[in-house]
Structure 1
């Protein structure tokens, strides 16, 4: 894996998000707990809504356009909605968020 430092954990508020621009599109970082962060596509497959502007709750995010809910662990839509979003491996070391650049390069995020 090719780990890329994409910012400080403390730059993302609890239950908030930040965008990382990559050569293949935008990846959203979602902070769900003190040291828990997930990386996923910023784009809802339903209407292209910006998931980074959605509501983070539990380990999920709700699209701000049409309320579709996606698991940040698996990327799968929850409830009656169908579809999924790409998710990407990351880790937190010494307060820094490291994103797997190889995984981001394999799939377009936006």
Structure 2
């Protein structure tokens, strides 16, 4: 079944996302990965796994409250909005997420839209299903 026929893609079990940590959803070569984060209270968020400053892996950052701090240069990103915290400016893409029967689901249409950045290729999910 291709992604166009499936509105949500199962990416992992909810309990695979560690508290105050992240799990990476690999999308394929030349396509931005997605990081699924869990806060201390168990809330899950999904963001592009790329800091807007220098492209650092947000999934390797420190989660505190509803923010993640990039491990490379300390930029802080709001998990709910994907926006950098002042005085920094910039944002990362946010992905719709839901939990159903203990599984984390991401919206298929958003995962397969082409990102405006020229470094990214078309989403492989439409051809091969979810890359994990």
Matches within 5 A, 1:26-105: 26-105=33-112
Measure, in 2, the Cα distance between the counterparts of 1:74 and 1:102.
Answer: 19
Aligned partner of residue 22 in structure 1, secondary structure: coil
TM-score by length of 2: 0.77
Q: Which has the higher strand share?
A: 1
Residues 53, 64 of structure 1: 8 Å contact kept: yes
Higher Rg: 2
For the structure 1 residues 107 and 15, does the alpha-carbon distance in structure 2 shift closer, same or farther, using more than 3 Å as the test?
Answer: farther
Measure, in 1, the Cα distance between the counterparts of 2:41 and 2:85.
Answer: 24
TM-score by length of 1: 0.91
* Structure 1: tracts of 5 or more residues without a match: none
Given the alignment of the two structures, is residue 12 of structure 1 paired with residue 17 of structure 2, yes or no? yes
Aligned residues: 110
CA RMSD of aligned residues (A): 1.8
Cα distance, 1:101 vs structure 2: 1.4
